[in-house]
Chains A and B, each alone.
Chain A
Amino acid sequence: MISKTAKALDVQALRADFPILERVVNGKPLVYLDNAATTQKPRSVIQSLVDYYENYNANVHRGVHTLSMEATDMTEAARKRVADFINAPEPETVIWTRNATEGMNIVAHSWGRGNIEPGDEIVTTPMEHHSNLVPWQEIASERGASLRFIPLSDDGTLDLSDLDAIITERTKLLAFTHASNSLGTINPAKLLTEKAHAVGATVLVDGAQSVPHMPVDVEDIGCDFLSFSGHKMMGPTGIGALYAKRELLEGMEPFLTGGEMVLQVSYEKASWADLPWKFEAGTPNIADSIGMGAAVDYLSALGMENVREHEKRITEYALERFKEIEEVDVFGPEDPELRGGVVSFHNEDVHPHDLGTFLDQQGIAVRTGHHCTMPLMSKLGVVATARASFYVYNTEQEIDALVDGIKGALRYFGNGLA
Chain B
Amino acid sequence: MAGRVLIADDEPNIVVSIEFLMRQKGYETHVARDGEEALAAVESFRPDLVLLDVNMPRRDGFEVCQKLRADGWTDLKIVMLTAKGRDIEIEKGLALGADAYVTKPFSTRELVARVAALLGDGS
On whether the two chains bind one another, the answer is no
Chain A residues engaging chain B, CB cutoff 8 angstroms? none
B contact residues vs A (CB 8 Å cutoff): none
